[in-house]
Amino acid sequence: MTIVLDARDLERRHALEGSEVTALRGVSLQVEEGEYVAIVGPSGSGKSTLLTLLGGLDLPSSGSVAILGASLSALPDRALTRLRLERIGFVFQRFHLLPVLTARENVELPMAEMGVAPDARRARAAELLAYVGLADRSGHRPTQLSGGEMQRVAIARALANRPAILLADEPTGELDAATGREILALFRRLHADGTTLVVVTHDERVTSEASRVVRMLDGRIVD
Amino acid sequence: MMTWRWAIRDLLRHPTRSALSLLGVAVAAALLLDMVMLSGGIERSFGELLRSRGYQLRISPLGTLPFDTEATLGDVTALTVALRRDPAVREVAPVLGSTMQGAHGAIAASLVTYGVTPTSQGIYTLESGRDLTATDTVGILLSVPAATRLGAAVGDTVSLRGRLDPQMANAGAERRVLVRGIVRFLYDAREQPSVAVALAAAQRLGGPDLTDRASVLMVRIDEASDLTAVTARLRAAHADVAVNSIDDLVAQFRLRLTYFRQLSLILGSISLVVTVLLVGTLLAITVNERSGEIATLRAIGVARMNIARQVLVQGLLLSVLGGAAGMVLGLGTARWLDAILTSFPGLPAAISFFVAEPAPLAIAAATLLLTGVLAGLPSAWRAASTPIAAALRSDAP
């Protein structure tokens, strides 16, 4: 099996009010292609910090992260940005859709950045919105969508460039129980279709669906 | 990226704020436009007015400019003959300017009187009636303000009294003349009551002091001649008079207008500073508000350069829209200000203070757009440098 993500001995220290806080202490994690990994733990355990390092949104104080063999720390900013664009899909707790763009335009955004031709990206956006069950909402702006719909648009956006791995940070955190179940069902479907998933969550339902559960406490993986 | 569409929608996100900012940029752009038009406009307009009748040279008493003082040229007949001897000189038109009193019935008015050679003059155009002829010594031409003040029309007889003595309030010579036509004097101030009579008649009415004298000689030279060479030749041959080309006169005028140019430069610069502040402030606020969005864009793989471009395009958009509105506003205010400024006494009404010329306007527009882009640079740099993880954590859209 291909190792999609390989994190070794990650440490992340922050300066906070004159003192140093260690958010991660020697975390290592490998994720194989097609895996569905759930990272769980209490607040402050370091799981969101770990996700930002895995996705190259922040750099570790020490240790390394590699996506499909490419070490993120060794990449210049431009290459790291390109790698995020091409290889990583992000889903955030607060959706982070762009309010001035429609659902379709939000999904098109990563493809536009990749230089995909307008016709091709429109077709791909329509396909993805249909996949997440929002074919009829493509012209709506985020303010016209429910929380669950916004998260589905965010998932469609994350899949736009066919990433090697999809990283989700509390994807059901802002949703009610029923809507959260819909999103989890969508993740289940994504996993079944071969998408590699790493989901940081408080939601115990995710742990029952993931192929592997990683538990964190005080900046360490404990299980 | 759908940069322009996005920038427009972003402006529409806060319509009131955007409209106020655009209004501010429009006012600044209008001021810049007006100052650009003012800085060179009156000079160009003056040059065009001097060139309008085809006389390229003006000869006036030494050390003076035409009609700048009451000084006059002597021995005008001999001077005219001497000038005509130059092979490049085609026409010499003497003009004598003086103040006389006109009367029509019980109405009397002080009139600026021009003595001209009717067959070769370059100071008026006929509006109605007919022109004076070469031998007409009893005809007079009135400007509309003069005709209005005297209550006279074509065909009426008016009295013209010269040699006004301001202390005695009486006149010397008097002549009854027949109104031949109504004319427009090219160099007159607005509402200036002026008349034209034959040069000989004006000289006689002026008394012995004005015998064979003129205020200025307008000289037309052969179009094919080298104006600079002819000017130099005439200067050398007539060292006792001032020989000025139109360019010389415009240069003198330019010197007197230094104040206007400095004023327009200062106000134009202020308008650019205001544009920088307005656009810069709006973009700084926008980038602050959008830090979460910007972090999202960076997270999903949008390059720093494209983030910066997005901010700069918004600045450019503000400048383009504000500049377009400012163009309309500026042209309107220029027309209004022009009407006020050209009504100042002593200035030819035909002069425009604000002249729209393509090249300076294009430079002003380009400067404004560049200013808009430059104003966005700090915000663009800040947006491109947004710390992704921290901004995502703190953002709650």
Domain spans of chain A?
36-58+81-221
Question: Using an 8 Å Cβ cutoff, are B121 and B93 in contact?
Answer: yes
pLDDT tens digits, one per residue of B50-109: 888 889 999 999 888 887 777 889 899 999 999 999 999 999 999 999 999 999 989 999
Q: What is the pLDDT of residue A94?
A: 87
Cβ-Cβ contacts under 8 Å, A80 against chain B: none
Q: What is the pLDDT of residue B121?
A: 84
Mean pLDDT, residues B12-38 taken together: 89
For domain A36-58+81-221, give the CATH number.
Answer: 3.40.50.300
Cβ-Cβ contacts under 8 Å, A103 against chain B: none
Highest mean pLDDT among B26-40, B66-80, B105-119: B105-119
Q: What is the pLDDT of residue B164?
A: 62
Q: Which amino acid is at A183?
A: I
Q: Which of B365, B295, B374 is nearest to B326 (CA)?
A: B365
Mean pLDDT, residues A105-109 taken together: 95
Cβ-Cβ contacts under 8 Å, B392 against chain A: 52, 57, 92, 96
Domain parsing of chain B, residue ranges: 3-49+256-394, 91-220
Encoded tokens for B212: 């064979």
* Beta bridge partner(s), residue B96: B115
* Kind plus residue range of the DSSP H or E element containing B368: helix B358-384
Question: Using an 8 Å Cβ cutoff, are A113 and B306 in contact?
Answer: yes
Encoded tokens for B276: 């920088």
pLDDT at B1 over 70: no
pLDDT tens digits, one per residue of B240-280: 999 999 889 888 888 887 887 888 889 888 988 988 998 99
Confidence of residue B301 (pLDDT cuts 50, 70, 90): very high
Q: Which of B274, B305, B290, B292 is nearest to B371 (CA)?
A: B274
Do B13 and A99 count as a contact with CB atoms less than 8 A apart? yes
Encoded tokens for B193: 């009551």
* Beta bridge partner(s), residue B243: B59
pLDDT at B128 over 90: yes
Q: How many CB pairs under 8 A join A and B?
A: 84
Helix/strand/coil percentages in chain A, nearest 5:
40, 30, 30
Q: Which segments of chain B are extended strands (E)? A: 57-61, 89-104, 107-116, 124-129, 139-143, 157-161, 174-185, 194-198, 216-221, 241-245
Q: From CA B123, how far away is CA B183, in angstroms rounded? A: 10
Mean pLDDT, residues B204-232 taken together: 91
Burial of A22 (0-12, 13-18, 19+ CB in 10 A): middle
Mean pLDDT, residues A198-206 taken together: 87
Q: From CA A90, how far away is CA A197, in angstroms rounded? A: 10
Chain A contact for B1 (CB, 8 A cutoff): yes
Chain A contact for B293 (CB, 8 A cutoff): yes
Q: What is the pLDDT of residue B397?
A: 43
pLDDT at A1 over 80: no
The pairs formed by B289-293 with CB atoms below 8 angstroms and a separation of 24 or more are: B290/B10, B290/B383, B291/B386, B291/B391, B291/B394, B291/B395, B292/A96, B292/B391, B292/B392, B292/B394, B292/B395, B292/B396, B292/B397, B293/A96, B293/A98, B293/A99, B293/B395, B293/B397
B26-30, B87-91, B151-155, B337-341: lowest mean pLDDT where?
B337-341
Mean pLDDT, residues B379-397 taken together: 84
Q: What is the pLDDT of residue A207?
A: 85
